[in-house]
Amino acid sequence: MTATSENVAWLTQDAYDRLKQELEHLMGPARLEIAKRIEEARAEGDLSENGGYHAAKEEQGKQEARIHQLQQLLQRAQVGDPPDDGVVEPGMIVEIRFEGDDDVERFLLGSRELASLDNSVDLDVYSLKSPLGAAISGKKVGDTASYQAPNGSTITVEVVSAKPYGA
């Protein structure tokens, strides 16, 4: 699969390495540990009333979902710095101003994994597939974009700034 600007996840080398390390742990030692816990709980007998078995199976499901999520993210990861050309793209910290409002809203356009890598930054995250994310993608600083809110009203925003995350 080739990466396009719509599905690229820009990661620093450090972020990529940490996510890859987490994936390797989940697919190796963590899988073995959860399988061992399930087997031990299964050996206790009646599975219908075995809370430890059900808890371990639920944890296994969550772990497998995280593995899938990390695999998808790493598959579309682009290591390096996203272009700093003022164009709104995934992996950018974007500031917008809603029409008729002087306040500026700041958020990360991309995925939660990117924001969760740096606990010192408290950012809202908007997906590229969200109405706002889709409307501003590809816009430049000073451009305006409109999108339809869930209540049916049209909302217009101005792009105030777009900088690569971590810049």
Residue 31 lies in a domain: yes
Residues 66 and 113 in one domain: no
Q: Classify the C-alpha dihedral 42-47-53-59 as positive or negative.
A: positive
Which pLDDT band, with edges at 50, 70 and 90, does 136 fall under?
Answer: very high
Question: For position 121, which CATH number holds?
Answer: 3.10.50.30
Decide which of 22, 51, 79 is a domain's last residue: 79
The residues, any chain, with a CB within 8 Å of residue 117's CB and separated by 6 or more, are 15, 18, 19
The amino acid at 167: A
Position 1 in a domain? no
Residue 165: φ, ψ to 5° = -60, 130
CA of residue 47 relative to chain centroid, distance: 36
What pLDDT does residue 2 have?
40
Instruction: For residue range 57-85, list pLDDT tens digits in order.
Output: 999 999 999 999 889 888 877 777 666 66
* Tens-digit pLDDT profile for residues 46-61: 777 788 888 999 999 9
Report the pLDDT averaged over residues 97-120: 76
Note down the domain range covering 43. 9-79
pTM, full prediction? 0.56
